[in-house]
Amino acid sequence: MLRTTAAVVAGKAARVASRLRGGGSALPGLVAERIDPGFLAHALADVPDGIVVVTGTNGKTTTTKMLVAVLRAHGRTVFSNPTGSNFTRGVISSMLGELPLRGRLDADLAVLELDEAHALKFAAAVRPTHALLLNVARDQLDRFAEIDHTAQLLASLAEQTTTGVVLNLDDSFVSRIRDRVADGVTVRYFGVDKSIADRLPELQEQDVRFEDDFVPPVAGPQDGLLKPSDERTFEVVFGSDTAGSDTSGSDTAGSNTEGNGTVGPLELQQRGLAAMINATAATATARMLLGDAFDPAAAAEALRAVTPPFGRGEVVMVDGQPLELVLVKNPAGFTVALGTYGSTPVATMIAINDNYADGRDVSWLYDVSFESLRARGVTITSGVRGYDMALRLQYDDVAVAAVETDLDAALDSFLAQHPQEPKRIFCTYTAMMALRRTLAARYDLPDIGEEAS
């Protein structure tokens, strides 16, 4: 107990010092962990209703924010780690702001966004009660190797989850993880209605070794399916036409009475099919966690109110005109972003860095088609790999007016050239963070910590 208290005091001091100097989010967690190696387990020991890990290649931040919003709308107190703290020491650092000196988190649930590798490091310290596994795609191959390895990381996390796992019905890498879940652990699914199944290839990859014979599990009455009405409006349907069918291991006991919990119709503040799928995943997970207390109307109201996480389609008003920040980090994500945000020609900037958090290898840019940008062209490319991005665009006959590797200088030029029209910036993670800080200082935006609280 004394060691934990000492770790809390030292970690809080390091957190204050780190914020004053504008440092990263890992240092306070490192300090606390050095003093008390079992800090995570101690801090989460009194959380009664579940420790939920959200992981996968794409959509972690958005889905986590949606899930937290739905749970809070049901009166639950929820701890969640801020965007950008999706590693174990980042979780500790963000937790320090809420911990009393005794070192026990006071919350009903903890919902934690963790990257695929750090999710296993977390599980080695604290076994999650629930896991939401979103998808597997090529992402930062220099860090996590091939997608088979990423799928193995998610499967290993599922093996260590004690109560419930929610899987992507339509992702062949993820849905197969059902066979790795321990006996007695409930499995639920989220997915898309068959009416839009033809759009799945633009969102996710399939395991080519099983591409021809992959048959997704059949959705059961407690599994959530996305059913869109148009490009903006959708429902999450539980059980509808499939009520009573088996879900290949899903807990379907109880049955048709559970199948009238349709959520929606509703429209999100964040655009695109990917965001709707994230909302479906969050809804299915909330329903598992809340059981009979789940209220479809409360869930829909909460989802409607969720603002895009910073950089994920976030809109900043700059001198009366919208500037949209769109995070891109892998071929699937950039392709979806171009399909979602690039359909209407606007002034465009692309900022590509190759720092560790972005992934050093940017050859993945050649797996993305940029043809949708031909009509208007790109005003400026920027970031450490600004020239590489400009070269890549040339191969798709996309005109690039200028290259400026300095992000602030590029932003100034971009804004000055398009003062009276909508603008959009596609950017990798560290480029987005830097641009977001600059915009926050100029236009009084909430910082990352404020948004996440």
Residues taking part in catalysis: 361
CA 276 – CA 268 distance, rounded (Å): 8
Beta-carbon contacts of 40 under 8 Å, excluding residues fewer than 6 positions away, are 33, 88, 91, 92, 122, 125, 126
Tell how far CA 438 is from the center of its chain: 23
CA 195 – CA 15 distance, rounded (Å): 49
CA 181 – CA 187 distance, rounded (Å): 8
3-state secondary structure of 347: strand
| Joined tokens for residue 205 | 């990859």
Give the distance between the most distant pair of CA atoms in the chain. 64
3-state secondary structure of 2: helix
CB-based contact 221:240 (threshold 8 Å): no
| Joined tokens for residue 28 | 């306070």
Residue showing tokens 């979602």? 340
DSSP 69-111: HHHHHTT--EEEPPTT--SHHHHHHHHHTT--TT-----SEEE
- Angle between the N-to-C axes of helices 88-96 and 116-125, in degrees from 0 to 180, rounded to the nearest 10: 70
